[in-house]
């Protein structure tokens, strides 16, 4: 019975891997396929032809597409800073709430209810708000937005980690004469590393992949990689090779994080998420 179960597991995992990776395979295939082969009929399931042209056009720009690097840079800047801010504010908030019940139940409910707010519901008021405060098409605007959007998630995750942390070590430090902040910085924070790792991965990915707000509330001076992609698909020119090449480049940070993520995610979500709402 053991063996049968293990075989069953193997089959399931193989199927899951095939399903998960086939589209990725297709993106990679398209990225390195010559333009003439991309929409061929009959469909060529296996690699046929190979070219670095798509990558070249996307990296260097061409008569019909802009170079992708500035967009990647913008995304990196915005996602990076949002992650740092959201994680820092989140950990401070979660610590205060977890250790000292700061704000009480009301505050907790308020923050966590923000999780149920689909961001798209806010797009109209935010549009008007951004207009009023000249945040339109600025780094500040998007960073503020992303930080706030992901803060509830950050707090929620970190709260779980904080609650798991036995308070003795901090108490010991306080007894030894450390200040409140000292105990926080030097004792609790290092122990919260897994939580911080998990949180920053989530926030970074969600900010990096965000499209709607990046498109509607910015797009010219401040244009992220997600805004770059649809521009390759206009009425005449459907540059799918270029889209695939750009998509590959944009997915690299995500994949890198997924690798790091898996180690922390399983443990992290166990400790953090499971018991809280």
Question: Closest distance between another protein and the C-beta of residue 63, in Å?
Answer: 6
Contact status: 43 vs another protein (CB under 8 A): yes
Residue among 42, 166, 177, 190 that touches another protein (CB under 8 A): 42
Contact status: 104 vs another protein (CB under 8 A): no
Give dist(CA 169, CA 155) in Å, integer: 22
Q: Do 137 and 222 meet the contact criterion of CB atoms below 8 Å apart?
A: yes
C-alpha dist (Å) from residue 206 to 37, 133, 183: 33, 25, 31
Contact status: 19 vs another protein (CB under 8 A): yes
Contact status: 119 vs another protein (CB under 8 A): yes
Contact status: 63 vs another protein (CB under 8 A): yes
Question: Closest distance between another protein and the C-beta of residue 256, in Å?
Answer: 9
Residue among 59, 80, 107, 194 that touches another protein (CB under 8 A): 107
Question: Closest distance between another protein and the C-beta of residue 172, in Å?
Answer: 21
Question: Closest distance between another protein and the C-beta of residue 215, in Å?
Answer: 9
Residue among 56, 131, 186, 193 that touches another protein (CB under 8 A): 131
Give dist(CA 37, CA 30) in Å, integer: 9
Residue ranges in 221-250 that form contacts with another protein under rule CB under 8 A: 225-226, 229-240, 243-244, 247, 250
For residue 62, what are its two tokens?
A: 């061409």
Give dist(CA 218, CA 211) in Å, integer: 10
Q: Do 163 and 246 meet the contact criterion of CB atoms below 8 Å apart?
A: no
Contact status: 159 vs another protein (CB under 8 A): no
Residue among 35, 53, 76, 174 that touches another protein (CB under 8 A): 35
DSSP H helices, the chain, are 2-31, 35-38, 53-60, 69-100, 104-114, 123-132, 139-164, 168-175, 180-182, 189-191, 193-208, 212-216, 225-228, 240-271
Residue among 97, 162, 188, 192 that touches another protein (CB under 8 A): 97
Contact status: 254 vs another protein (CB under 8 A): yes
Bridge partners for 65 per DSSP? 62
Residue among 48, 140, 179, 270 that touches another protein (CB under 8 A): 270
């Amino acid at each position: 019975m053991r063996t049968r179960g293990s075989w069953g597991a193997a089959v399931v995992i193989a199927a899951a891997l095939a399903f998960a990776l086939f589209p990725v395979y297709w993106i990679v295939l398209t990225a390195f396929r010559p333009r003439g082969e991309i929409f061929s009929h009959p469909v060529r399931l296996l690699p046929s032809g190979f070219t670095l042209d798509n990558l070249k056009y996307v990296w260097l720009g061409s008569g019909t597409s802009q170079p992708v690097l500035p967009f990647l840079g913008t995304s990196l800047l915005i996602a990076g800073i949002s992650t740092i801010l959201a994680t820092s504010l989140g950990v401070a908030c979660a610590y205060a709430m977890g250790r000292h019940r700061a704000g009480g139940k009301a505050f907790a409910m308020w923050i966590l209810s923000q999780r149920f707010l689909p961001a798209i519901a806010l797009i109209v008021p935010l549009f008007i708000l951004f207009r009023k405060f000249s945040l339109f098409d600025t780094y500040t605007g998007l960073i503020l937005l992303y930080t706030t959007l992901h803060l509830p998630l950050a707090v929620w995750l970190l709260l779980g980690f904080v609650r798991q942390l036995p308070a003795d070590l901090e108490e010991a430090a306080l007894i030894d004469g450390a200040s409140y902040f000292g105990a926080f910085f030097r004792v609790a924070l290092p122990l919260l590393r897994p939580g911080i790792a998990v949180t920053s991965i989530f926030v970074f990915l969600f900010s990096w992949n965000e499209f709607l707000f990046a498109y509607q509330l910015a797009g010219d001076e401040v244009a992220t990689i997600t805004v770059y992609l649809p521009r390759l698909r206009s009425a005449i020119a459907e540059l799918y090779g270029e889209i695939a090449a750009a998509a590959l480049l944009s997915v690299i940070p995500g994949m890198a994080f997924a690798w790091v993520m898996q180690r922390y995610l399983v443990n992290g979500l166990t400790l953090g998420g499971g018991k809280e709402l």
